[in-house]
Each structure stands twice: as structure tokens, then as C-alpha cells.
């Protein structure tokens, strides 16, 4: 084994808006694999031809997603005698990575739905999740009987506006009726977490893709 031979692996996570988060890790090369052999072995052990895998099962870090989100293999590069790498500690050996990917592929190959039952839930579970998300929205909307408007706003901005309205509602500079209206509006505001909508959309999109 040459202690001055490594591989640099790059992988990424792609969110619903096609925003990509990337990471690069250093891998040792104890068995002296060539770049072409290493890449071929990795691709043979990914979950599909698009290069997907689950990071935790491969010993890699989750990138801006969750453990059930697919990550994508980008490329692997062989490096030798690169002084910029001398002080870095390899995350693992390339052979260990290939072994972990292989185990992950075998684990999910037996699933009847896609590659992972955790990614695509059973039909009853999916129905339950859809109803849960719809119930949360319905609870927020029902009290207004069609008189509500939905506004998309970043949570930090919302809290700033909310705090400003709270201070305005106490200000003597405002007409008493306006202050009462502000207090009434603040009391009736409902904060709804939209993350379940994104998670649900991911699941439904994967089901749609696999059933075409």
C-alpha cells in the first residue's frame, strides 16, 4: 500500500427546488484501487442508475436533508502526493465505502416499493400522513370560513413583523380602534409549520416517478 495515494469523493443532496448542497471527503486506498475500478465499484453498488444512496448507511454525512433523503454520487478522483492533503485524516478506506454501499443496496433490493420502505411508506401510512397534513391546514383555515389569505414569508421575517405589531398594538400613538384591531389580528394569527408539506411532496413525487 502507498500511504500517499488517496481518493477524493464528491457527493451532493438536491432539494425540492433543485438547490444542491455538496461535500467532499478524503478516502484512503489501502488496496491500491485504480480510479476507474473504484468508480465502477461504487456505481455498481448504488441504489439506481441515477447514482442515489442513503448517506448514513454509507458512513457519510447528511447534507441539508434527512436520513431518508436520497443523496447523489458525483465523482471520485484519484490523488497522489498532494501536500495539501498531508494533514487531513481520511474518513474511511475506499473499500469500506464500497462495502457499506453494497450492504445498503442489498438491504433495499428486497423492498417491494422502490428501494426503501422508509422513503415510500405503505399506502395506509401515506393516507394517514396526507390526512394529518390536511387536518393541520384545515384547523388553521376553518375558523375564518374562506376569509383568510395565505402569505408565504420567512419565519425570521414573520417574527420581526409579529413583534413590531405587538409593540404597535400598545402604542398610544395609534387610534384606540386601530390598537384593538391589531390586538385582535395578533390573537387570531396561526403559525403553521409547512415542512410536512415539503416532506409529503417528496414522497408523492417519488411514488409518481416509480408508478409511471
pLDDT (tens digit, 9 = 90+) per residue, 70-91? 899 999 999 887 666 656 778 8
Residue 118 pLDDT exceeds 50: no
Closest among 162, 211, 210, 160 to 183, alpha carbons compared: 162
How confident is the model at residue 40, as a pLDDT?
95
Global confidence as pTM: 0.54
Name the DSSP letter for residue 64.
S
Calculate mean pLDDT across residues 99-108.
Answer: 92
92-93 and 20-28 as β-strands: parallel, antiparallel, unpaired? Answer: parallel
Highest mean pLDDT among 8-17, 28-37, 124-133 belongs to 28-37
* Largest pairwise CA distance in the chain: 81
Closest among 40, 44, 46, 38 to 78, alpha carbons compared: 38
CB hemisphere CA count around 117 (13 angstroms) = 8
Measure the CA–CA gap between 181 and 194, rounded to whole angstroms: 27
Q: Of residues 150 and 5, which shows the higher confidence score?
A: 5
Residue 102 pLDDT exceeds 80: yes
- Residue 102: which residues within 8 A CB-CB, separation 6 or more? 45
Closest among 49, 54, 51, 41 to 93, alpha carbons compared: 41
Amino acid at each position: 500500500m502507498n500511504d500517499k495515494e488517496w481518493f477524493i469523493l464528491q457527493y451532493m443532496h438536491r432539494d425540492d427546488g433543485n438547490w444542491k448542497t455538496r461535500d467532499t471527503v478524503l478516502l484512503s486506498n489501502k488496496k491500491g484501487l485504480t480510479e476507474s475500478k473504484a468508480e465502477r465499484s461504487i456505481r455498481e453498488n448504488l441504489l439506481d442508475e441515477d447514482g442515489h444512496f442513503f448517506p448514513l448507511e454509507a458512513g457519510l454525512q447528511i447534507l441539508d436533508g434527512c436520513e431518508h433523503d436520497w443523496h447523489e454520487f458525483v465523482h471520485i478522483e484519484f490523488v497522489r502526493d498532494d501536500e495539501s492533503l498531508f494533514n487531513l485524516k481520511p474518513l474511511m478506506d475506499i473499500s469500506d465505502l464500497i462495502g457499506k454501499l453494497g450492504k445498503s443496496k442489498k438491504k433495499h433490493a428486497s423492498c417491494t416499493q422502490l428501494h426503501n420502505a422508509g422513503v415510500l411508506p405503505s399506502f395506509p401510512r401515506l393516507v394517514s400522513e396526507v390526512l394529518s397534513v390536511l387536518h393541520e391546514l384545515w384547523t388553521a383555515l376553518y375558523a375564518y370560513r374562506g376569509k383568510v389569505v395565505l402569505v408565504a414569508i420567512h419565519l425570521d421575517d414573520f417574527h420581526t413583523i409579529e413583534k413590531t405589531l405587538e409593540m404597535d398594538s400598545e402604542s398610544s400613538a395609534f387610534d384606540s380602534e386601530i390598537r384593538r384591531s391589531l390586538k385582535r389580528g395578533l390573537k387570531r394569527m396561526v403559525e403553521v409549520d409547512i415542512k410536512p408539506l415539503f416532506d409529503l411532496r417528496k414522497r408523492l413525487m417519488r411514488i409518481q416517478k416509480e408508478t409511471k
